[in-house]
Amino acid sequence: MIKLLLVGLGVLLALWIGAGFAVVAAAGPFKPAGAMVDIGGRKLRLVCEGPKSALPVVWMEAGAWGLAADFAAIQQKLTAKGLRSCAYDRAGMGFSDPGPEPRDSAAIVADLEKLVAASGERGPFVLMAHSMGGQHARLFAGKNPDKVAGLVLLEATTPEMTSDPRAERFLSRVRTVARVSAVAGSLGLTRIAYGFGDRIGLPAQGSAEKRRAFVSARHARTASDEVQVWPQGSVQAGTVNLDPAWPVAIVTAGDAARMADWNVARRAPERASRAGWYENVPAAEHATLLGLTHSDAVIRAVDHVLASLKTAPEPQ
């Protein structure tokens, strides 16, 4: 009886995986947006949109499990305002080549420095980061202050946040989810969920890219690798400080009262800035804050940073 049950489960698993491959194959050939940029024997995908101008380029860092596609709606809105922006896939994520381990903030920032240098885009930049990307942006800013004009942090983690003892329980759950998703991706179990990959609410191209990443085994494994060393990256980010002269805009989502304790830590960079700005979007969620429906608040945050730069006193 047990043998028959195991055989039956094996058949069901094979059918599930086969159906997943069929769903992805039915989607047809696919070409991601942007260009592959060589950073020294490896290539990272870079998506830059909008006209070049005297205004700072908005450079974007995605959160855990994220890639350039996460910012497709925001890039579309920034382009409509005549602003240039660049988003990229970290090594091993999305359509980028893999990179050496560990995939902590130090490794990610080292790649980002090479990508910025190879991109031809000129700083200083407005750094935009979502979720876990907040600690990567902080470390990059602290190491490259000449390349930073200001920051826009979206539901972003900070060293102040992850140093809270309560954060360990949350991180432990996230690491478990990451390990499970890596195994599921490697077995092809996520492919049947191809149509559910975009939980943000993205334009068509970005949505298709997000779905492709959602069912990618390599993407899932790299995302897990990043999440496992999240605390290590937070410590690395905590070794640098943000210049209080930089304008900082913070945007959060959901019930601000319920998240009040976490938002104190999230808002630490804004409160330390001489030109801080904060907005909460109650109707948005952690992911949908980036989507077509709720990202107007993100555009307002960029507007604040740019306006603050125009009115900032000249350095003595």
Per residue in 26-77, pLDDT (tens digit) is 444 579 999 999 999 999 999 999 999 999 999 999 999 999 999 999 999 9
Residue 286 lies in a domain: yes
Domain-embedded: residue 6: no
Rounded to the nearest angstrom, the gap between the alpha carbon of residue 89 and the centroid of all alpha carbons in its chain is 9
84: in domain: yes
Helix, strand, coil shares of the chain as percentages rounded to 5? Answer: 50, 15, 35
Lowest mean pLDDT segment, chosen from 14-23, 164-173, 262-271, 298-307: 14-23
pTM comes to: 0.87
User: Which is it for the CA torsion 58, 59, 64, 68, positive or negative?
Assistant: positive
Q: What is the mean pLDDT of residues 162-175?
A: 74
pLDDT per position as a tens digit, 239-279: 999 999 999 999 999 998 888 887 888 999 999 999 999 99
One-letter amino acid at 49 equals E
CATH assignment of the domain containing 218: 3.40.50.1820
Residue 113, in any domain of the structure: yes
pLDDT for residue 179: 84
**Residue 284 domain-assigned (yes or no):** yes
Query: Does 12 map to a domain?
Result: no
CA-CA distance, 243 to 240, in Å (whole number)?
10
- What range defines the domain where residue 105 resides? 31-311
What does the DSSP 8-state code read for residue 89? P
Mean pLDDT of the region 202-222: 94
Flag whether 4 is in a domain: no
How many structural domains is the chain composed of? 1
CA-based radius of gyration for the chain? 20
Q: Please check whether residue 301 lies inside any domain of the structure.
A: yes
| Higher per-residue confidence, 254 vs 179 | 254
| Cβ–Cβ < 8 Å for 175, 169 | no
